[in-house]
Amino acid sequence: ETGVTQTPRHLVMGMTNKKSLKCEQHLGHNAMYWYKQSAKKPLELMFVYSLEERVENNSVPSRFSPECPNSSHLFLHLHTLQPEDSALYLCASSQIRSGADTIYFGEGSWLTVV
Amino acid sequence: AQSVTQLDSQVPVFEEAPVELRCNYSSSVSVYLFWYVQYPNQGLQLLLKYLSGSTLVKGINGFEAEFNKSQTSFHLRKPSVHISDTAEYFCAVSDWAGRRALTFGSGTRLQVQP
């Protein structure tokens, strides 16, 4: 079992649908992240939950809504998405000590918006 | 603000040849530097990281990187590549200036040919 598990691995949804991506980390870390990976673009940090604090990238549209019920679980709720939101969404976790912390990634959820 | 530039989007190389993947960064404060690798259909995996001390850092799978503060570079090298090294390689920086996450470059696709 990998340290960071994401489900589903593949998701196809219409623009009017509501769906959620789920992430679970088994590493005992105190921080979790959502990154968006689009073709030929740098990985984009979307949200960070660390030490019960949420930090977000202000450029992320409100149609993406994160939820972190506890330190092991992270959700990304999706509603009324656009085709340009199709991408690989990566969940990650780390143990916050300093900026040298290693971030551990899941295998990602491939999202296609039709 | 910090940023990372990976100068080459693709690097083709023959098996057993040496390779260098270039990375330059900009930051107003001291940084920590990372290289991650992404194999097809997988998440990102840490190759190596520079925190302090020796500027030559050795990582997994025979890779190494050299931190050059005057040139603000952190190039990744391997003296002899294998077919299995074919993957996407990402350089990242963390400056621990309040952000608890990494800023990534746009990636370099290493294609090892027989």
Cα(B64)–Cα(B49) distance, rounded to whole angstroms?
Answer: 10
% of chain A at pLDDT higher than 90: 64
Q: Classify each residue of B51-79 as buried b or exposed e, where b means 16 or more C-beta atoms within 10 Å of its C-beta.
A: eeeeeebebeeebbbbbeeeebbbbbebe
Best residue in B10, B60, B102, B106 for a mutation probing chain A (most A CBs within 10 Å): B102
**Closest residue in B to A104 (Cα–Cα):** B45
Which residues from B are below 8 Å from A when comparing CB atoms?
4, 9, 31-32, 34, 36, 41-46, 49, 51, 90, 94-96, 99-107
Which residues, 6+ apart, have CB-to-CB distance to B82 below 8 Å?
Answer: B15, B16, B112
By CB atoms closer than 10 A (0-12, 13-18, 19+), residue A91 is: buried
pLDDT tens across the length of chain B (114 residues): 778 999 999 999 999 999 999 999 987 777 889 999 999 888 899 999 998 888 999 999 999 999 998 999 999 999 999 999 999 999 998 865 445 578 899 999 999 999
